[in-house]
Amino acid sequence: MPEPSAPLLLDGALATELRRRGFELEAPLFAARALLEAPDLLVEIHRDYALAGAQVLSTNSFGLHAATLARAGMAERQAELAARSVELTFLARQLVRQSGSERTSFRVAASVPPPPPSPSEGDAPELTRAALRSLASALVDAGADLVLFETFAKPEHIRAALEVAGALEVPVWLSVVGDARPGHRGQLLGGVPFDALAALLREPGLRRPDALLLNCTQIDAVPRALDALLQTARAAGLEGVDLGLYPHLGRARHDGEWIDRILEAEVYAGQIEAWMAARPALSIAGACCGSTPAYVEALARRLHPDAAARERANVRLAHRLP
């Protein structure tokens, strides 16, 4: 049976979408505070992404590292809040079903970012591993279908994620950030060469991810970063591993003010489609900070234009994430 050809479609932003819908993002929890104060709004956002065509919904768990919760006086509530972040995606499935839509077969990705550094010990490897293990395990125990280590750039964080991944019994995806500074667009955020990522992916004893992606990368930095990502996958021998992207939509204006969205939904979707057409190895797409369900819907129209394409995408989903 031939491999399904339609790409997998991810969801979009949670934090900036919460803010767009009127929820204030306040330190230290930012979007994670919505688990406590606006769970119904989170369910609605998850529902809207599913109805837009997303096949993978990410949990609202970016702020659930124990160190972050400790700053909010909630260090002991990680497992509870992780479970709630997964539960809200299940509630969204119920709303999708009640709406009469058939788009209920989405999978749930446990969103696990790099942990914040310890004020006293920085990025000590054992602390990094413990933080990633704790959050990933809590989300998997709550029912997440895969673990998405996302927004990684430091080699020491990537190594820790791949070490932790070895003990996880679900698929693991790794997503890294490309550097948007002039002259650094073929590197990871902060100027780390993609060669360092390739070396880690080749290292014996480290689990290789089931998908390798580029996320939270500025639009104008994407082409070089994508080419570097594809070269990394080849250099690391990642045959059969899905590759993809979900860049952010923001940029600093000439006066320094940050603009959340510099591209409209149809323009963004057309750009993603063009990048994927020029790089057939890419098989996963979505959107990051600044996006809304309208962006996912525009992507779905481009990438899943008819019932046959949607069916091929669902076959791919079932094959990759049973």
- CA distance linking residue 89 with residue 55, whole number of Å: 12
For the beta carbon of residue 304, count every other beta carbon within 10 angstroms. Answer: 21
Number of neighbours of residue 97 by Cβ within 10 angstroms: 13
Among 205, 122, 210, 113, residue whose Cα is nearest residue 153:
113
Residue 204, burial from CB neighbour count under 10 angstroms (0-12, 13-18, 19+): exposed
Q: How many CB atoms lie within 10 A of CB 169?
A: 6
For residue 131 the two structure tokens come to: 């933080």
Other Cβ atoms within 10 Å of 123 Cβ, number: 15
79 annotated to bind ligand: no
Q: What are the structure tokens assigned to 228, written together?
A: 């570097």
Distance CA(142)–CA(276), nearest Å, equals 34
Q: Is 288 annotated as a binding residue?
A: yes
Question: Would you say 296 and 53 are in contact if contact means Cβ atoms under 8 Å apart?
Answer: yes
Tokens, residue 127: 């602390």
Structure tokens that stand for 245 in this block: 């992207």
**Distance linking the first and last C-alpha atoms of the chain:** 17
Tell me how far apart the alpha carbons of residues 317 and 319 are, in angstroms, rounded to a whole number: 5
Distance CA 93, CA 21 (A): 20
3-state secondary structure of 172: strand
Question: Is 67 assigned to a binding site?
Answer: no
Of the candidates 259, 260, 186, the one whose C-alpha atom is nearest the C-alpha of residue 222 is 186
Residues at the annotated binding site for Zn(2+)? 216, 288-289
Residues at the annotated binding site? 216, 288-289
